Structure 1
Amino acid sequence: MTTIAALTAADRDEWLRLWDGYLTFYEQVLPAAVTEDVFERLTAGAGIHGAIARDEHGHAVGLVHWLFHPSTWTRSAYCYLEDLYVAPDSRGGGVGRALIAHVRERAHVAGAAKVYWLTEETNITARTLYDQVADLTGFVHYETDMSE
Structure 2
Amino acid sequence: MNISIRTLHEDDYVQWLLLWQAYLEFYQTKLADEVTQQTWRRLTGRPDMQALGAFDEAGHLAGFAHIVIHPNTWNLTDCCYLEDLFTDPAFRRQGVARRLIEAVYAAAGERGCNRVYWVTAPENHTAQGLYNRLARQTGMLQYRKDLV
The answer to whether TM tops 0.5 is yes
Q: What is aligned with 2:111?
A: 110
Equivalent pair of 2:5/2:103 in contact (CA under 8 Å): yes
Q: What is aligned with 1:84?
A: 85
2:5 partner SS: strand
Aligned amino acid, residue 89 of structure 1: A
Aligned amino acid, residue 131 of structure 1: N
Q: What is aligned with 1:141?
A: 142
Counterpart CA distance in 1 for 2:106 and 2:49 is 16
What's the RMSD between the two structures over aligned residues? Answer: 0.8
Counterpart CA distance in 1 for 2:14 and 2:72 is 35
Q: How far is the alpha carbon of 1:46 from its aligned partner?
A: 4.9
Post-superposition CA distance 1:62-121 (Å, at most 9, x none): 011001111111101110000000011111100000000111001111111100000000
Aligned residue runs from structure 1 range 1-148, under 5 A: 1-147=2-148
Counterpart CA distance in 1 for 2:79 and 2:46 is 18
1:141 partner SS: coil
Unpaired stretches in structure 1, ≥5 consecutive residues: none
Aligned amino acid, residue 125 of structure 1: T
1:105 partner SS: helix
Q: How far is the alpha carbon of 1:18 from its aligned partner?
A: 0.6
Question: What is the TM-score of this pair, normalised by structure 2?
Answer: 0.97
Equivalent pair of 2:48/2:70 in contact (CA under 8 Å): no
